[in-house]
Amino acid sequence: MILPNVIMIGAHKAGTTSLYDWLIQHPNIFGPEGMKDFPFFCDDGYFQKGEAWFNRNYFLRKNEKIILHGCVNYLYFSNIAANRIYQNNPSVKIIAVLRNPVDRAYSAYWQQKKIGHEELETFELAIQKEQARLCGEFQERANLTYIDHGFYSRQLSYYYKMFPRNNIKVMIFEEMIANKGAALKDVFEFLGVNQDFVPQFSVKNESGAARSRLVQSLLLKPIVPNFIKKMMPITFRVSAKNVLRRINTRQVVYQPLGRDMRLRLMDLYKDDISELEKMLHRDLRSVWGL
């Protein structure tokens, strides 16, 4: 049985969907679209099905050197996911992409508005409700707690305790977007595959708004009969849902985050960013304009 040997752990709204798409175009890398954000290692309901079920159904391949899996919530739920990932494959390589935590939080709010999870009309109202949401069910904590997702040093610490440092690749979203080619060569070198391969650099999972709220609500909570589930694997169903979601999305430009709110959140993250700089041995304040 071939296990996923590379896992992308997040962060949410940090370009991971685009990076996943670029990587799986490489002839030595396999990763089904439906497994990019499948929360096996952090969702108890899926994890109880067992690792053999997970690997057998979604990752059994013979030719590819790299078997790629990802879920943006593996970083946020690192206290659970890191240990489970290690138990599944202790030699796995980990990829994380980090974004300015203030920009990430604001982008995540608009993403959840787009797909229909978020009902509150303003980012500020969502922040005010965050503490209550932190006590909610898995999906609420995973999708609707925007500020708490940005404390990267705390989250990454679980992976650095569990895995060798040279098995972990941390990328910075702003640098990756500014120079996609160089960033991808760096990842290919980390994975040990041909660095000369150049994918199509399309951008995935952009912000926007639903053309039809009815269609979006059906995609959010689809009613799929059991006989269809048995006939169509989850990878196919997720891919189909993603296609329909893209068709139902129109581009919008949302208002920039207000200066007072930005300064307030920057101050909230400053200690965590200091710890992150020590952890990664690099300057992040200049990259993130802090």
Output the domain CATH number for residue 46. 3.40.50.300
115 found inside a domain:
no
52 found inside a domain:
yes
118 found inside a domain:
no
Average pLDDT over residues 178-207: 88
Residue 83: pLDDT over 70: yes
- Is the pLDDT higher at 138 or at 243? 138
Q: How many domains does the chain have?
A: 1
226 found inside a domain:
no
CB of 6 within 8 A of CB of 191? yes
Residue 204: pLDDT over 90: no
CA distances from 283 to 101, 185, 267, 280 (A): 15, 22, 17, 9
Q: What's the pLDDT score for residue 145?
A: 96
Residue 177: pLDDT over 80: yes
Confidence class for position 221, pLDDT limits 50, 70, 90: low
Confidence class for position 219, pLDDT limits 50, 70, 90: low
Residue 62 burial (CB count, 10 A)? 6
Residue 220: pLDDT over 80: no
| The model's pTM | 0.84
58 found inside a domain:
yes
Give me the sign of the Cα torsion angle 213, 219, 223, 227: positive
Return the residue matching tokens 């919530």: 73
**Exposure letters 202-232 (e unless 16+ CB within 10 A, then b):** eebbebbebeeeeebeebeeeeeeeeeeeee
- Is the pLDDT higher at 124 or at 37? 124
Angle at 165 between CA 24 and CA 3, to 5 degrees: 40
Which structural domain range is residue 85 located in? 6-101+150-203+269-288
Question: pLDDT tens-digit profile of 97-132?
Answer: 999 999 999 999 999 988 888 999 999 999 999 999
Angle at 254 between CA 238 and CA 213, to 5 degrees: 45
Question: pLDDT tens-digit profile of 181-194?
Answer: 999 999 999 999 99
Classified as helix, coil or strand, 155 is: helix
209 found inside a domain:
no
70 found inside a domain:
yes
145 found inside a domain:
no
